[in-house]
Every structure is written in structure tokens, then in C-alpha cells.
């Protein structure tokens, strides 16, 4: 059942996700709802809550996987495996002053801005890896050490479950290789 989900359902939910990565809590929850419903049907997982099911099945939340895909694509850009059509740089230029909150949010969550921000929060020892399979394995190992908690609709929390938020958590300094940002 899990193999069926990974190959037939999750692949559709994640197709081209570095470009359309949602940032509104309601959109994230709607996507997570698909995985939540499917994992609830797996034998031995019916009595567990969603986050316990993810741990038992060794799955990441879809939000965490989308950020992982962004980082994998950033590695490909940095190492010349794919073209840099969007002109992504490690430094993110600020948006001009006086824009609406809506436009600021679109800008902040675009691939050209979010990609470098995620890239810059990963320890340099991982980003400097030159072989893709090794980078992917090390990145996945790092991401599995970071708590994966859902954002709650209707509540403002200090942590949206994004790696960008977890990077600021002082209790995880060791996970990030002792690097403070």
C-alpha cells in the first residue's frame, strides 16, 4: 500500500514542486491531508495520529519534502547540472519599498528567493559536497534529525515547520553542525 502511495499519489503531489511550493497554512494542510488520509489506511497505522504514522513509516511531511526538493534543485544549479534560468544567486536582493503584503509574500516564497534562503541555512559541509547522491543522502540524514510538526490553521505559531524557522531554534544548534546564523 505504501509503495502504491509513493509511486502513484505522492509523485503527482510533488511534481515540479520547487516552482509551486505553497506557503499558506491552509494550502499546506490540504496537501498534507492527502498523505494523512492515505497513511491512515495502512495496516498497523490506523490508531496512530498523522505525525506518529509518518515516523513509523519513515516518511517526511510533504512540506519538508518540498523544501528538500528545492535544496536538491539548488545543488544542481550550484554545480552546473541544470541551467540557472532564473539567475539565482546566494544573496537575495530585497524587494523595493512600499509593496503590498500580498506581493511581498509572493516574492518571499518564490523559488528564486526561497531557494537561496534554504541553501544558505544548510551547513556548508553539506552544500560543498560535489557528488549528487552523497549530497542527497547527507541532506536527507540532516532533515530527518529536525522535528517535523504541522502548522495549525487559525493559529499563529513561532514555527511554521519550515527549515528556515527550525534553523533559528537554539535547541537544534548541534543538528546544524554548531553553526549559528
**pLDDT tens readout for residues 34-73:** 999 999 999 999 999 888 899 999 999 888 999 999 999 9
pLDDT confidence of 136, banded at 50, 70, 90?
very high
pLDDT of 79 higher than 80? yes
Residue 161 zone, left/alpha/beta (φ > 0; ψ -120 to 50; rest): left
DSSP 8-state secondary structure symbol assigned to residue 5: I
pLDDT of 15 higher than 80? yes
pLDDT, position 150: 63
Burial class of residue 39, CB neighbours in 10 A (0-12, 13-18, 19+): buried
| Contact between 72 and 139 (Cβ < 8 Å) | yes
pLDDT confidence of 175, banded at 50, 70, 90?
confident
As a whole number of angstroms, the distance between CA 63 and CA 98 comes to 30
Percent of the chain with pLDDT over 70: 86
- What's the pTM value of the predicted model, to 2 decimals? 0.81
pLDDT, position 69: 93
pLDDT, position 56: 93
The CB density around residue 161, as the number of other CB atoms within 10 Å, is 21
pLDDT confidence of 179, banded at 50, 70, 90?
low
As a whole number of angstroms, the distance between CA 96 and CA 116 comes to 19
Selection from 36-50, 105-119, 127-141 with the highest mean pLDDT: 127-141
Average pLDDT, the chain: 83
Amino acid at each position: 500500500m505504501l509503495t502504491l502511495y509513493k509511486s502513484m499519489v505522492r509523485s503527482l503531489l510533488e511534481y515540479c514542486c520547487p516552482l509551486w511550493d505553497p506557503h499558506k497554512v491552509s494550502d499546506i494542510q490540504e496537501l498534507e491531508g492527502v498523505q494523512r488520509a492515505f497513511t491512515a489506511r495502512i495496516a498497523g497505522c490506523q490508531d496512530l495520529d498523522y505525525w506518529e504514522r509518518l515516523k513509523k513509516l519513515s516518511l517526511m511531511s510533504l512540506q519538508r519534502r518540498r523544501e528538500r526538493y528545492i535544496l536538491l534543485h539548488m545543488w544542481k544549479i550550484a554545480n552546473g547540472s541544470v541551467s540557472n534560468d532564473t539567475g539565482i544567486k546566494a544573496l537575495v536582493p530585497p524587494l523595493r519599498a512600499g509593496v503590498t503584503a500580498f506581493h511581498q509574500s509572493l516574492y518571499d516564497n518564490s523559488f528564486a528567493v526561497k531557494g537561496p534562503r534554504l541553501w544558505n541555512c544548510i551547513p556548508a559541509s553539506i552544500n560543498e559536497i560535489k557528488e549528487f547522491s552523497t549530497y542527497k543522502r547527507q541532506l536527507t540524514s540532516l532533515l530527518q534529525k529536525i522535528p517535523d510538526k504541522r502548522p495549525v490553521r487559525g493559529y499563529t505559531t513561532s514555527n511554521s515547520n519550515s527549515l528556515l524557522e527550525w534553523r533559528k531554534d537554539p535547541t537544534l544548534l548541534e543538528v546544524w553542525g554548531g553553526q549559528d546564523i
